[in-house]
Structure 1
């Protein structure tokens, strides 16, 4: 992987990590078209740089992370389902990451769901700050497990999960951001532990570069997303996913991928 390739993937990660359009799906597609999709470093890269993106949450919402011990208890309960599922399904997830058609199908199906999400969750239009219980957090964590399928979008799964348990859009989106911290930290640490023996000095530099770029881009994307979601809802993300998924399918057919 070259630095220009790392830059492209990191920008994609920073923009898409917190949007309901699947950051992993976009990076899988981009890396496939660049011809580096099956590269060992690329598979590490798309996981590890997510840590850089989610660190932007800690910076932007640092007061929440210093608020109380109960905040962390809720995050632990919300993180548990993905931790257990990830442990048992890791090999299967890695297999899916190499299949662009899984991403295409997830993008289109997820887009259809997002188009109707605002209609299904009219109660979630408020912006008042809400308290999330540990049980609500656990249920949101169960929704997060769906995002282990490439292209599903962790953000979409957890935000919809939050609205399903009674949260408004803003609270659901912010809790999705918070839940990304232990989830991506765990995923990145696990990936590094599994592959540290094969990582070279050049790889570490690429990973650090990508994480920094993803962090800076995500700082801007989070603020923009909250404002857009408040004003426009989810439908435009749904339209984007469908158009993007169909375009990728057409290109993949033409390129015999």
Structure 2
């Protein structure tokens, strides 16, 4: 019963945190540590339930994904001033390559409270740098993003493989440093998060296939559903919030969270 409650609580945390630049994975690791829900199965659980929140995002952007899919199948990549599948692919490749090359190190070393606290702090500094940069905005909307900017955002997404950095935090910061508006960077971040998370989840499930039991699958389903439901309720509000609030506020939250957790739990 306790594990079911843990799965439900972690699913709620995931649904609330996924769309803000505060690292949902970092929150899951810290909350899991407080609850005593840790280990290989727990690490896989924390990745799988993110798919529930991402599925909510897929439902929100389904028309855009259908357009991208149609263009991909028709090899229609020539339209100027329009986001297409090539932007998505080149933005996803860097993190995919780094993950495949370093996944054992990532899961074996970085999925712990200590590395997460470091990621929260360093990621917060990156948010402040991006917020205070005075780069000329060349991409006000998502369709204005160039291939070069998309690839650069993909490079910044590699930071998100370190739990605590935040996928949205690293990519939104990267986009702003490369000349996109915060709104365009946020929209592009959410668009690429769906295929990235689907791919990461499938790879992780395959790698963990021999260590998972039917009981684990029940917990995964509970967390997945909880994350999906909460994210569906929160997604529209959070998408508006991320586009209106300055990144410094999220950085401040990250610093406070890291300090509180360190002094209360780790000292």
- Please, what TM-score do these two structures have when normalized by structure 1? 0.91
The 1:148/1:129 distance shift into structure 2, 3 A limit, reads closer
What stretches of structure 1 move > 3 A for 4+ residues in a row?
121-130
Superposed, 1:144-223 pairs within 5 Å as 144-223=157-236
Note the C-alpha offset of 1:53.
1.2
Residue in structure 2 matched with residue 32 of structure 1 by the alignment:
33
Q: Cα deviation per residue 1:24-58 (whole Å; 9 max; x = unaligned)?
A: 11111111111122x22211101111111111121
Note the C-alpha offset of 1:125.
11
CA distance in 2, matches of 1:125, 1:227: 22
Residue in structure 2 matched with residue 242 of structure 1 by the alignment:
255
Note the C-alpha offset of 1:133.
2.8
The 1:34/1:152 distance shift into structure 2, 3 A limit, reads same
CA distance in 2, matches of 1:96, 1:221: 32
CA distance in 1, matches of 2:14, 2:137: 27
CA distance in 2, matches of 1:225, 1:233: 13
Greater Cα shift, 208-217 or 243-252 = 208-217
Aligned: 1:106 with 2:98 = no
- Please, what TM-score do these two structures have when normalized by structure 2? 0.87
Query: 3-state DSSP class of the match of 2:22?
Result: coil
Query: 3-state DSSP class of the match of 1:20?
Result: coil
The 1:62/1:31 distance shift into structure 2, 3 A limit, reads same
Residue in structure 1 matched with residue 101 of structure 2 by the alignment:
88
Aligned: 1:233 with 2:231 = no
Q: Cα deviation per residue 1:90-148 (whole Å; 9 max; x = unaligned)?
A: 11101233431111122123223324432215755996554323332221111100111
Pairwise CA RMSD of aligned residues? 2.0
The 1:80/1:98 distance shift into structure 2, 3 A limit, reads closer
The 1:249/1:137 distance shift into structure 2, 3 A limit, reads same
Number of aligned residue pairs: 253
Q: Conserved in 2, the CA contact under 8 Å of 1:55 and 1:215?
A: yes
Aligned: 1:117 with 2:118 = no
